[in-house]
């Protein structure tokens, strides 16, 4: 079945850029997503990218997609302490009911 992999942990200093990486196996992925989860909370959709795009920018967030390598990244510019959370990468396939397949999440810790 489909698989989505992420590194477990990332630590950065406040003001630096954070780059969270994700790889996936489903070659028929239609959309790729980044969600943020704060402790004890639900998932907040941050951004998503259609599979025929290679980049999307939204304020401090930049998503890069390398479809050939099935590699997705989320860059957070000027990282703030409020960005500390778990970030989940997810993919969906329009031809498979649009359910999301999630990675295990990357815990981002931002040090002051």
Partner 1 sequence: NAGVMQNPRHLVRRRGQEARLRCSPMKGHSHVYWYRQLPEEGLKFMVYLQKENIIDESGMPKERFSAEFPKEGPSILRIQQVVRGDSAAYFCASSQNTQYFGPGTRLTVL
Q: Which residues bind partner 1 (CB under 8 A)?
A: 4, 31, 33, 35, 41-45, 48, 88, 90, 92, 97-105
Tokens 């997705």 identify what position? 72
Minimum distance between the CB of residue 5 and partner 1, rounded to whole angstroms?
10
Minimum distance between the CB of residue 15 and partner 1, rounded to whole angstroms?
29
d(CA 93, CA 110): 33
d(CA 91, CA 95): 12
Minimum distance between the CB of residue 62 and partner 1, rounded to whole angstroms?
19
- The nearer residue to partner 1, 15 or 104, going by C-beta atoms, is 104
- The nearer residue to partner 1, 18 or 105, going by C-beta atoms, is 105
Q: Is 41 left (phi over 0), alpha (psi -120 to 50) or beta?
A: beta
């Amino acid at each position: 079945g489909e698989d989505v992999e992420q590194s477990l942990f990332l630590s950065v200093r406040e003001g630096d850029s954070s780059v969270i990486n994700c790889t996936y196996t489903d070659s028929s992925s239609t959309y790729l997503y980044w969600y943020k989860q704060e402790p004890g909370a639900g998932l907040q959709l941050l951004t998503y990218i259609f599979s025929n795009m290679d980049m999307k920018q939204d304020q401090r967030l930049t998503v890069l997609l390398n479809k050939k390598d099935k590699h997705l990244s989320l860059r957070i510019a000027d990282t703030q302490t409020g960005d500390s959370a778990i970030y989940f990468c997810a993919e969906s396939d329009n031809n498979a009911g649009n359910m999301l397949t999630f990675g295990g999440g990357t815990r981002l810790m931002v040090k002051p």
